Structure 1
Amino acid sequence: MSRVVLISRDGCHLCDDAETVLDRILPGQWERVDVDSDVELERDYGDRVPVVLLDGAEHGYWRVEEARLLRDLARQPGEPRI
């Protein structure tokens, strides 16, 4: 599993923007999950997509915070984030 997962949905312009950013800063190093593919994902994230998960924890939603994501990726998994 990738350290970075984007919870997204088809037809979402913010999701398209987030995918473009992730492709640019982390080419081939992230995974996309369709929020509509799972009832729990829809319940938890349906109104806030796109949602970026880092190491399984929510990192942000609606926009990719590039500098913060890259900074947090430089840390080892499990190391506290600021």
Structure 2
Amino acid sequence: MIKQVLLYSTDGCHLCDDALKLCQSLRLSPTIIDIVEDDDLVHLYGEHIPVLLVEREEQALFWPFDAEQIKQYLKFYGIS
């Protein structure tokens, strides 16, 4: 089963926009999750967005991150 890559974000977050552009530069199209829709996500990630997470994994990649860190993170979970 292919795991999705999630990007926890919210509208108007320039860092989230930067993180998405960085992902796209690596030909990665994460599923964008707006944390505003879920109080639990606001509690978990509200002060930390953008956050990249491989679906069904516990370890997330918190901002700031760069292209190399994204590659290493995805490689760790077997995603190329």
TM-score band by shorter chain is 0.7 to 0.9
5+ residue gaps, structure 2, are: none
**SS of residue paired to 2:18:** helix
Q: What is the identity, as a one-letter code, of the residue corresponding to 1:17?
A: D
Say whether residues 1:74 and 2:63 are aligned partners: no
C-alpha separation between the residues in 2 aligned to 1:65 and 1:57? 20
Q: Name the counterpart of 1:16.
A: 17
Go from structure 1 to structure 2 and tell me whether the alpha carbon gap of 1:26 and 1:10 turns closer, same or farther (over 3 Å shift).
same
C-alpha separation between the residues in 1 aligned to 2:12 and 2:77? 34
TM-aligned CA deviation for residue 43 of structure 1: 0.7
**SS of residue paired to 1:52:** strand
5+ residue gaps, structure 1, are: 78-82
Residue correspondence of structure 1 range 1-82 to structure 2 within 5 A: 2=4, 4-28=5-29, 30-55=30-55, 56-77=57-78
TM-aligned CA deviation for residue 39 of structure 1: 0.8
**Number of aligned positions between the proteins:** 75
Q: TM-score, normalised by structure 1?
A: 0.75
**SS of residue paired to 2:31:** strand
Question: Sequence identity, in percent?
Answer: 29
RMSD: 1.9
